[in-house]
Amino acid sequence: MRTAGLSSSLRLLLVDIAFSARLSEEVTRVSQHFGALTISSADALVKRDQQMA
């Protein structure tokens, strides 16, 4: 009985680790996307300001 409980706990731990890794990858991807949008937006504002000067 104890072995079955340990096996279930290990399986849950592995599932949790896999979920955490996927979530971390998704957060990184979204963060990079918004970083690129921020840079593009800043570049557009600088160009606009230069054209107005």
22-33: average pLDDT: 96
How many Å apart are CA 38 and CA 17, to the nearest integer? 31
pLDDT at 4: 84
- The DSSP letter of residue 45 is H
pLDDT at 12: 95
How many Å apart are CA 21 and CA 32, to the nearest integer? 17
pLDDT at 1: 53
Three-state DSSP class for residue 33: helix
Average pLDDT, the chain: 91
Whether this prediction's pTM lies above 0.75 is answered by no
Task: Give the pair of three-digit tokens for residue 19.
Answer: 């979920």
Q: Which has the closest alpha carbon to 37: 22, 29, 51, 50?
A: 29
